[in-house]
Amino acid sequence: MDPQLAQKNPEFVRSTFASIAGRYDLANHLLSGGMDFIWRAKLARLVAACRPSEVLDLATGSGDLALAIKKTCPSAHITAADFCLPMLEEARRKGVERLVQADGLALPFSDNGFNVLTVAFGLRNMADWRAAIGEMHRVLRPGGTVFILDFSLPEWEPLLTFYRLYLHHVLPHLAHWATQRKEAYEYLGGSIETFPSGQNMNALLEECGFSCEAPRPLTLGVVSIYQACKRT
Ligand SMILES: C[S@@+](CC[C@H](N)C(=O)[O-])C[C@H]1O[C@@H](n2cnc3c(N)ncnc32)[C@H](O)[C@@H]1O
């Protein structure tokens, strides 16, 4: 399937994650060279600084971020949501407690319920980024904080060239080996190219009713953390 069409097709996304759920963590750690632990730990520390009582980890997948947040915010109630049941089953097996099957484009939560909402490597896979951010805005309390952790494009040209080589020519083969599903990661490179990066993500968040901190590029800018507060 054309990478751009795949990214915009929720059924393709759901069935792809369902098919790799059991090998998702291995693929993640392998393809990121173990950096994904560091990225989620950094995000969990930023969440703790908000001292939240109610956290929603959206597109929680196998639950690694929800578990990292549980460590840094032991007294917070953490709800972990995803629209793919086999991924939620992985999260349950790893000890995530409050799991909800939910589509990020139509969340089954009331308005203004959470102080903090996190989404790691999930928004990029959603069919309509603006609508998904609108839902995040709706379920956050005024003054609440959204954190988005996702791939971004490094600004330094030589690194960008090298990164693109990795994304389009190395990663799909490694992913095929790790997941036994070639198509699962075929669209990843294309999805990263089209996803808003750096100030473009902040511009989108501002349009959706958030006030943004400066983006935090990690690991030479191959991923970034975006932090934004729901305007009151
Ligand atoms: C790359 S995984 C990220 C999982 C986890 N957050 C992590 O950091 O490893 C993307 C997850 O987003 C979920 N997802 C994609 N589109 C979604 C949607 N519209 N609503 C809810 N979950 C969605 C997928 O099912 C998948 O579990």
- Give per-residue pLDDT as tens, 6-40: 567 899 999 999 999 999 999 889 888 999 999 99
**Mean pLDDT on 30-57:** 96
Check residue 3 and give its pLDDT: 54
Check residue 6 and give its pLDDT: 58
Share of the chain above pLDDT 70, in %: 96
Residue 99 near ligand 1, beta carbon < 6 Å? no
CATH class of 3-230: alpha beta
Lowest-confidence pick of 97-111, 169-183, 191-205, 211-225: 169-183
Residue 196 near ligand 1, beta carbon < 6 Å? no
Q: Whose CA is nearest to atom 1 of ligand 1?
A: 121
Residue 218 in 3-state DSSP? strand
Check residue 5 and give its pLDDT: 56
Check residue 176 and give its pLDDT: 83
**CB 172 within 8 Å of CB 197:** no
| Tally of residues, the chain | 232
**For a pocket test of ligand 1, which of 9, 56, 126 has the largest count of ligand atoms closer than 8 A to its C-beta?**
126
Check residue 21 and give its pLDDT: 95
pTM of the complete model:
0.94
**Mean pLDDT on 112-134:** 97
What's the 25 CA to ligand 1 centre distance in angstroms? Answer: 13
pLDDT category at 208 given cuts 50, 70, 90 is very high
Residue 148 near ligand 1, beta carbon < 6 Å? no
Residue 91 near ligand 1, beta carbon < 6 Å? no
Residues in a beta bridge with 188: none
DSSP state of 124: G
More confident residue, 3 or 152: 152
Structure tokens at 148: 């988005």
CA distance 202 to 172: 29
CA distance 94 to 145: 26
What's the 122 CA to ligand 1 centre distance in angstroms? Answer: 4
Residue 210 near ligand 1, beta carbon < 6 Å? no
**Mean pLDDT on 208-231:** 97
